[in-house]
Amino acid sequence: MKTPRISSWFGRGQLAAPPDIASATLRSDRFRLEREGDWRRLETIINRMERGGLRRIADDDLLALPTLYRTAASSLAVARETSLDAATLAYLEALVQRAWFQVYGPRQGFARWLRDFLLGGWSRAVREIWLDICIALFVMVSGTVVGWLLVAQNEEWYYRLVPGGLADDRVPGASREQLLATLGAEENAVGLSSFAAQLFSNNSAVSILAFALGFAFGIPSLMLLVHNTAMLGALLWLFASQGLLVELAAWLSVHGTTELLGILLAGAAGLHIGRAMAFPGTRPVLDAAAEAGRRGAVVMVGVVIMMIVAAFLEAFPRQLVDGAGSRFMIGGAMLVFWLSYFVLYRPRRIAESAG
């Protein structure tokens, strides 16, 4: 994938663009040019690793890989917050996802890895970061409460917290009937498969970003959790104002029990790395961070699986199933399944069983 090129509005015989568009274009150009060298180098390294593994990588490039990955992840966070052009944003999202799998992905055979992963490896890794999960859960609940209170005091906050594409008819002042219509079921599944793919791409990007930003002592990961849950709090306030809180909760539960749990685990995994770097104990910082990174990587592979499941649930059952009771049953069943796997499923390690 090539780095996107942004055409200039000036010097090609075209009429001058409006000042705001010209300013945004110049800002995006400057942002890209300042960092393009690192992106290209990371992309070259990833291409070589995907074709031939570590044997094709020079020692200097291999040592620089984690730093280049974190730089790209930080660039993606900035690009998201400053609303840079769509081409640059799409390029960075794809680059960060590919780099994550090379930096943190499994290095053993797929069959053996899958067996270890499903037979306790994932659930064990989740339990090992229980403290980070508790902290991340507290932050997410706090973010939801803050979002609700901000919008309750000033409705202008709603437009700052909720993206325009998500808002559509879900805006302050909408009638009960308008809001209820946004929670209705579809008549058929035509077009929902592409919708599911889009949802998976967005949800996995948010999760991977929450994990990738953990290297900065976990603070950016927690901030990302607050931002996303503040939006949830704003939506809850809006529907509650029209007496539709139960209906919204049912609508969200279908996929939300999987999606929010996945985002929680991703943020906790990022925080786990940040805590290991800030408080390494008696170990060297790099050793502590490496161990936390391996544990967090196992959690994150599972999070990607959860995002696939959440995208399927959001695109199909949530859109096709109507009625609060039926939706709560689906969401509740998924929540019980995940909690049972993470908390109750505790098989012995395969190596121990073999012995």
3-state secondary structure of 11: coil
Q: Which of 25-34, 35-44, 105-114 has the highest mean pLDDT?
A: 35-44
Report the 10 Å Cβ neighbour count for 229.
24
**218 vs 120: CA distance, rounded Å:** 26
271 or 14: which leads in pLDDT: 271
pTM for the structure as a whole: 0.69
Q: Would you say residue 243 has pLDDT above 90?
A: yes
Q: Say if residue 163 is exposed, middle or buried (CB neighbours under 10 Å; 0-12, 13-18, 19+).
A: exposed
Which helix (DSSP H) or strand (DSSP E) does residue 209 occupy?
helix 192-212
Render the burial of 100-115: b for 16+ CB within 10 Å, e for the rest. Answer: bbbbbebeeeeeebee
Q: What average pLDDT does the segment 252-263 reach? A: 92
Q: What percent of the chain has pLDDT over 90?
A: 32
For 139, the token pair is: 């932050």
pLDDT of residue 12: 42
pLDDT tens-digit map of 246-256: 999 999 899 99
Q: What average pLDDT does the segment 336-347 reach? A: 91
71 or 32: which leads in pLDDT: 71
Contact predicate 26/13, CB 8 Å: no
Q: What average pLDDT does the segment 33-38 reach? A: 86
Q: pLDDT tier at 6 (50, 70, 90 boundaries)?
A: very low
What residue spans define the domains of the chain? 19-104, 123-354
Which helix (DSSP H) or strand (DSSP E) does residue 223 occupy?
helix 219-240
Distance of CA 298 to the CA centre of its chain: 16
Residue 161's Cβ-side half-sphere holds a number of Cα atoms within 13 Å equal to 32
* Size (the chain), residues: 355
**168 vs 162: CA distance, rounded Å:** 10
SS3 per-residue string spanning 108-168: CCHHHHHHHHHHHHHHHHHHHCHHHHHHHHHHHHHHHHHHHHHHHHCCHHHHHHCCHHHHC
**192 vs 198: CA distance, rounded Å:** 10
